[in-house]
Amino acid sequence: MDHKHQCVALNDGHFIPVLGFGTTVPDKVPKSEVIKATKLAIEAGFRHIDSAYVYQVEEEVGLAIRSKIEDGTVKREDIFYTSKVFCITLSLGSLHST
């Protein structure tokens, strides 16, 4: 089995790919490149997209994922989007239930 298809079982019965596509970019790279790169990653078979609030690319990643869902490349249930929030940015009022 190749690395793109190795998964870890979650407690709800789903399986998440162990290899995720990272979305951090240097400040000098236009954010529009994040859209292109994320689309290419999905086309290449990535189903786990990894990001973080501090990258400030959430909107671009979302647009890329939405585009690949709309064009039929993937279904929403096939995509795992993970993000990170630093503890210093957390307050009880800032957390939302999903």
Phi, psi angles (nearest 5°) of residue 9: -75, 135
How far apart CA 65 and CA 59 sit, in angstroms, is 10
From 38, 51, 55, 61, active-site residue: 55
Residue type at 45 in one-letter notation: G
Let me know if 81 is a catalytic residue: no
Q: Which residues are catalytic?
A: 55
